[in-house]
Structure 1
Amino acid sequence: MTSDSILAPSHLTAGDVQKDVKHLGFFSIRQSSRINGRLGANVFQNHKPPSVRQSLFPGAVTLATVGQGDGRRGITATAVCSVTDTPPSLLVCVNRATETCTEITRLKHFSIQLLDHTSDDIALAFAGAKGLVGVWEETDQGLPQLTTAVASVCCELSSYTDVGSHRVFIGAIKDSTLEVGDALIYARAQFGRAQATL
């Protein structure tokens, strides 16, 4: 079994935990707790090993999801960002040991769900906790879509490259939905809230 979560038709069923499951992308969740979106001013004060320093960078908490029916898979990821506006594209870094990585490579499509600030339970479930969380639909492209996501983006795989333990996928954005709400962020081993100013 991998650290991937398996998406049932309307809910998520999390799989068994593997060695690297207690990470959101590159950010450790060993001491996760909710904060009010405030980060300490002296986050770079102490010199830390590289793996600890990486957790100091705030990241939006997303789910990388793929597949249909019993073949649906997903992981929590903070290593997600836009690449170009023309054509619209984004990248996501996925651990190569996961079934999510295998399925994105095979199916050449994936979706990204930007989590709402109250969805830390879903983030933790996709990072390896067990249980049923989230209400899911299927997009016109046949990809998983979380109904409570602040944004959902459907991508067609353009290219990928392997870097260490992860595969960096670049996807061409084919469709997206945007809802009103504040996104969940993760930094310094804590969840927080990114308040919208629109």
Structure 2
Amino acid sequence: MAIDQTLFREAMSTLAASVTIITTDGPGGRHGMTATAVCSVSDEPATVLACINRTSTMNARVKQNGVMCLNVLGGHHQDLSMLFANPRICVEDRFAKAEWDRSITGSPVLSNALIALDCEVSEITEVGTHSVFFGRLTDLAIATEHAPLLYFGRGFHTLKPQGTAA
């Protein structure tokens, strides 16, 4: 039995997710996009995954470059998240709105990301409309002084850090 696409999307909108800007650079060029379909896979070896629509420019760039950095955003990054989610804004303008460093793989790393996970793509699986990119970590950076930016119910939310009054 096929599940109704609209019903499925409604159900998935209630699945809270961290907001991430996926970046890449290399022979295929620099690119970045906002995503919530990102998660850990294994700690041995340290592996994460990101799901990217097959028709997107980002999908082609990650395949060409073979690397990606998952920049997990804090609550203070909501505007940046919207900028990287807008396909009408050129890549240069997206990257001009924040401070970026270069990772071991060459991917852009958001200088004040909550977490930055630098990866080499180890496997790609095609599923429906998306490619699932598995990335083996080459490096990571953690800056936990900010509350995470979450996407839930088709809107942004920020968790209050532990020990903070409600």
- CA drift of 1:71 comes to 2.0
Distance 1:79 1:145 in 2: 19
Which of 75, 80, 85 lines up with 2:38 in the alignment? 80
CA RMSD of aligned residues (A): 1.9
Which of 87, 105, 116 lines up with 1:152 in the alignment? 116
Runs of 4+ that moved beyond 3 A: 129-132, 195-198
1:166 aligned onto 2:141: no
Q: How many residues align?
A: 151
Counterpart code for 1:123: S
1:193 aligned onto 2:158: yes
After superposition, the C-alpha distances for 1:118-139 in whole angstroms (9 at most, x for unaligned) are: 1111111111163542211112
* SS of residue in 1 equivalent to 2:132: strand
* Greater Cα shift, 106-115 or 133-142: 133-142
Which of 79, 82, 94 lines up with 2:52 in the alignment? 94
**Equivalent pair of 2:28/2:65 in contact (CA under 8 Å):** no
5+ long unaligned stretches in structure 1: 1-47
After superposition, the C-alpha distances for 1:6-43 in whole angstroms (9 at most, x for unaligned) are: xxxxxxxxxxxxxxxxxxxxxxxxxxxxxxxxxxxxxx
TM-score between the two structures when normalised by the length of structure 1: 0.71
**Equivalent pair of 1:68/1:144 in contact (CA under 8 Å):** no
Give the alignment of 1:174-189 within 5 angstroms: 174-179=138-143, 180-189=145-154
Which of 105, 112, 132 lines up with 1:141 in the alignment? 105
Distance 2:13 2:25 in 1: 29
Question: What is residue 3 of structure 2 aligned with on the other side?
Answer: none
Distance 1:73 1:79 in 2: 17
The change in CA–CA distance for 1:70 and 1:135 in structure 2 (over 3 A counts) is farther
Give the alignment of 1:1-198 within 5 angstroms: 49-68=7-26, 71-128=29-86, 130=89, 131=93, 132-179=96-143, 180-197=145-162
Distance 1:158 1:70 in 2: 17
Percent pairwise identity: 29
**Equivalent pair of 2:26/2:65 in contact (CA under 8 Å):** no
